[in-house]
């Protein structure tokens, strides 16, 4: 197992390197200008714009800029944002709590509810509960987040005036009052995301459990006279969990990427929103930093998923 892990870590390094080159090349080749906002401003004549461009190092050819970036990455510096001139790491540190508070919680809730619902759906296949759960799973998967987000805003914020729809990132939870406020402002983005995630996860769990239910060892357990609870939770559930856990592990990096659209709609201003605004503004250092972190997380969680799989399924042996 140890050699396996080490081997995987060593192959990860060239993978990340190639990823960074590809992303950098694409960004450099893409049309667009971090200074385009100044184009029509009569107070900023062309000479001043040229000066700005030179100051930001945008004058150099792209391979020089790539090596400069690599050199600072090796030192652990992710560079400075073009628009706010603060270190990329600072930006990430500021945005991460918002993303975790909304997207992280949404994923957690989705997993928390999806697993039991999926199991119950499979065990009581085609019952009323199953029909309702399946319907909502379909809705969750098919309705895009910008649709459900806008729908929720119209119903709960505008018509019913129950919840605020603009997320206040400065709210610090110190007492029950502020906790209530935090719940009120995050319940909509969390439910939008959870609904979407739950759809996928419920269906997947259900299918996995259904696969295991007709198996011989389950039949043996029934034949031995074990109660349903024991059959399902001690025998079927752990075995069905194997593919589900790998799915969850592989979707962990998505928490970091944030839910771009939901964050925009509710102004949660987390990592996803940072990624999209930096891409639209051609803020290369930020985009490079975020995508690099994201790729590193994907590689890492792939490894984690493989290891977990190895633990859960005794038939798998790594060397």
Between residues 40 and 317, which has the closer beta carbon with respect to other proteins? 40
- Residue 62 structure tokens: 């792209």
Mark residues 83-112: x for contact with other proteins by CB under 8 A, - for none.
xxxx----x--xx--x--------------
Q: Is 10 in the site for other proteins (CB under 8 A)?
A: no
DSSP string, 87-121: BHHHHHHHHHHHHIIIIIHHHHHHHHHHHHHHHHH
Are residues 307 and 98 in contact, defined by beta-carbon separation less than 8 angstroms?
A: no
- Binding residues among 269-288 for other proteins as defined by CB under 8 A: 269, 273-274, 277, 280-282
- Binding residues among 109-148 for other proteins as defined by CB under 8 A: 125-126, 131, 134-135, 138-139, 142-143
CA distance 167 to 152: 14
Crossing angle for the helix pair 88-99 and 237-257, to the nearest 10 degrees: 130
Angle at 299 (CA atoms; ends 18, 318), nearest 5 degrees: 115
Between residues 55 and 74, which has the closer beta carbon with respect to other proteins? 55
Angle at 278 (CA atoms; ends 276, 283), nearest 5 degrees: 155
Are residues 184 and 100 in contact, defined by beta-carbon separation less than 8 angstroms?
A: no
- Binding residues among 159-198 for other proteins as defined by CB under 8 A: 159, 161, 164-166, 168-170
CA distance 149 to 34: 30
Q: Is 316 in the site for other proteins (CB under 8 A)?
A: no
Residue 247 CB-density burial (10 A; 0-12 exposed, 13-18 middle, 19+ buried)? middle
- Binding span for other proteins by CB under 8 A among 9-17, 204-212, 238-246, 258-266: 258-266
Q: Is 25 in the site for other proteins (CB under 8 A)?
A: no
Which of 14, 42, 76, 314: binder of other proteins (CB under 8 A)? Answer: 42
Which of 28, 48, 230, 316: binder of other proteins (CB under 8 A)? Answer: 48
DSSP state of 234: I
- Residue 143 structure tokens: 């309705």
Q: Is 215 in the site for other proteins (CB under 8 A)?
A: no
Q: Is 313 in the site for other proteins (CB under 8 A)?
A: no
Q: Is 38 in the site for other proteins (CB under 8 A)?
A: yes
- Residue 276 structure tokens: 């999209």
Q: Is 45 in the site for other proteins (CB under 8 A)?
A: yes
DSSP state of 215: S
Residue 123: CB atoms within 10 Å:
19
- Binding span for other proteins by CB under 8 A among 76-84, 103-111, 113-121, 246-254: 76-84
Footprint of other proteins (CB under 8 A) = 31-33, 35-52, 54-56, 80-81, 83-86, 91, 94-95, 98, 125-126, 131, 134-135, 138-139, 142-143, 151, 153-155, 157-159, 161, 164-166, 168-170, 264-267, 269, 273-274, 277, 280-282
């Amino acid at each position: 197992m140890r050699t396996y892990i080490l081997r995987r870590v060593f192959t990860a390094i060239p993978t990340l390197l190639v990823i960074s080159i590809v992303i950098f090349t694409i960004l450099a080749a893409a049309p667009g200008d971090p200074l385009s906002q100044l184009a029509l401003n009569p107070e900023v004549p062309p000479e001043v714009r040229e000066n700005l461009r030179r100051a930001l190092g945008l004058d150099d050819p792209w391979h020089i800029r790539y090596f400069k970036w690599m050199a600072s990455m090796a030192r652990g510096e992710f560079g400075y944002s073009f628009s706010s001139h603060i270190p990329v790491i600072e930006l990430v540190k500021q945005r991460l709590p918002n993303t975790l508070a909304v997207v992280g919680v949404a994923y957690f809730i989705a997993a928390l509810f999806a697993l039991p619902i999926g199991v119950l759906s499979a065990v009581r296949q085609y019952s009323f509960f199953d029909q309702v759960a399946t319907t909502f799973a379909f809705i969750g998967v098919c309705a895009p987040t910008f649709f459900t987000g806008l729908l929720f805003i119209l119903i709960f914020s505008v018509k019913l005036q129950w919840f605020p729809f603009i997320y206040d990132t400065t709210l610090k939870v110190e007492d029950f009052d502020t906790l209530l406020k935090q719940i009120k402002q995050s319940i909509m983005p969390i439910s939008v995301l959870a609904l979407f995630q739950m759809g996928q996860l419920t269906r997947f769990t259900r299918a996995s459990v259904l696969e295991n239910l007709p198996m011989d060892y389950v039949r043996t357990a029934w034949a031995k006279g074990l109660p349903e609870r024991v059959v399902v939770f001690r025998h079927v559930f752990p075995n069905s969990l194997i593919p589900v856990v790998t799915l969850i592990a592989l979707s962990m990096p998505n928490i970091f990427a944030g839910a771009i659209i939901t964050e925009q709609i509710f102004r949660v201003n987390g990592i996803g929103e940072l990624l999209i605004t930096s891409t639209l503004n051609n803020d290369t250092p930020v985009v490079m930093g975020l995508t690099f972190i994201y790729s590193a997380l994907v590689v890492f969680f792939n490894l984690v998923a493989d290891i977990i799989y190895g633990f859960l399924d005794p038939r798998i042996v790594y060397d």
